[in-house]
């Protein structure tokens, strides 16, 4: 498990907390413990994550404020897609102009991602499902939220997901990757073809170990960690070596990874 420190400590102040990185399996265990032991359902965590993403955009990425900002929320069918749609909902409430871009037809969304899609539909937010193809281009935007693939994804992105990644990389707007850039293996740091090239990555609860490899620096941009309401006790039980609570003073911490070679399959946590 890699450990890095934030860049927010100041001389004379308490040292910044150590921020350990976790594997995809360890993060999945966090989700299981939240659900099975605490009774916090995935929909509740998704709401917390989506608000954190929107608040981070408001505080750190939208210099002129959210009002009038054109946002493209690229939403896959899983948890990251749901997070992106929750963020779009909050940003719309603050005056932004979000458009949700689906990676599959709306009828293919299920579970809590379908729940979030139904909500943004009721709000009347613009929703696109591109036909795909090599010449796909996205509408004008000031910021792109990458919610296409989550931490459990492996291998090269295929189909419309891959096409949307290429379109986002060619777009020109700043990209915020949710949890990790789509196409990056969250545990090993292997970079798929294609892979989102983000200016900023907002990783949820704890960094994923793949964000700290030497090669992943080319696609992650600046890495921040967001508090989504997971207690320190749960993070420790899932394997995180925490010396104290991370978010006592700020819900967003910048993470400076101790870059290391990508682990081999035998050394992956």
Q: What rounded mean pLDDT belongs to the chain? A: 90
Q: Which residues, listed in sequence order, are joined to residue 255 by a DSSP beta bridge?
A: 6, 223
Put residue 65 in one of left, alpha, beta given phi > 0 → left and psi -120 to 50 → alpha: left
What six digits make up the tokens of 41? 């359902």
Position 133 scores a pLDDT of: 60
Distance, in Å, from the CA atom of 59 to the CA atom of 55, rounded to the nearest integer, reads 6
Residue 225 falls inside a structural domain = yes
Residue 269 falls inside a structural domain = no
Residue span of the structural domain in which 59 resides: 17-255
Query: Which string of DSSP letters, residue by residue, matches 113-156?
Result: HHHHHHHHHHHT--EE-----TT--PPP-SEEEEES--TT--S-
On the question of pLDDT at 262 being above 80, the answer is no
Residue 136 falls inside a structural domain = yes
Q: What CATH number does the domain containing 95 carry?
A: 3.40.50.10260
Residue 5 falls inside a structural domain = no
Residue 261 falls inside a structural domain = no
On the question of pLDDT at 1 being above 60, the answer is no
pLDDT tens-digit map of 150-203: 999 999 999 999 999 999 999 999 999 999 999 999 999 999 999 999 999 999
Distance, in Å, from the CA atom of 113 to the CA atom of 85, rounded to the nearest integer, reads 8
Number of domains in the chain: 1
Residue 162 falls inside a structural domain = yes
- Give residue for tokens 């499902």: 129
Distance, in Å, from the CA atom of 109 to the CA atom of 97, rounded to the nearest integer, reads 23
Residue 263 falls inside a structural domain = no
What average pLDDT score do residues 79-107 get?
Answer: 97
Position 267 scores a pLDDT of: 37
Q: Which H or E run contains 169?
A: helix 159-171
């Amino acid at each position: 498990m890699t450990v890095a420190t934030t860049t927010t400590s100041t001389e004379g102040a308490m040292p910044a907390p150590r921020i350990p990185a976790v594997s995809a399996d360890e993060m999945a265990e966090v989700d299981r413990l939240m659900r099975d032991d605490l009774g916090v359902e995935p929909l509740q965590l998704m709401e917390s994550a989506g608000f954190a993403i929107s608040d981070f955009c408001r505080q750190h990425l939208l210099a002129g404020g959210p009002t009038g900002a054109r946002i493209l929320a690229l939403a896959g069918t899983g948890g990251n897609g749901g997070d992106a749609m929750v963020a779009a909902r909050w940003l719309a409430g603050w005056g932004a102009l979000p458009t949700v871009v689906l990676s599959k037809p709306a009828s293919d969304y299920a579970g809590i991602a379908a729940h979030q899609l139904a909500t943004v539909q009721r709000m009347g937010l613009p929703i696109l499902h591109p036909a795909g193809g090599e010449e796909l281009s996205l509408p004008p935007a000031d910021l792109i939220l990458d919610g296409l693939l989550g931490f459990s994804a492996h291998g090269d992105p295929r189909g419309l997901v891959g096409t949307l990644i290429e379109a986002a990389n060619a777009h020109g707007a700043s990209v915020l990757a949710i949890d990790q850039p789509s196409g990056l293996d969250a545990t090993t740091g292997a970079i798929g073809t294609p892979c989102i090239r983000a200016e900023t990555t907002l990783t949820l609860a704890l960094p994923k170990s793949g964000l700290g490899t030497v090669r992943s620096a080319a696609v992650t941009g600046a890495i921040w960690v967001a508090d989504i309401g997971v207690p320190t006790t749960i993070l420790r039980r899932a394997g995180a070596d925490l010396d104290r609570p991370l978010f006592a003073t700020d819900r967003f911490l910048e993470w400076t990874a101790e870059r290391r070679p990508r682990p081999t399959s035998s050394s992956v946590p």
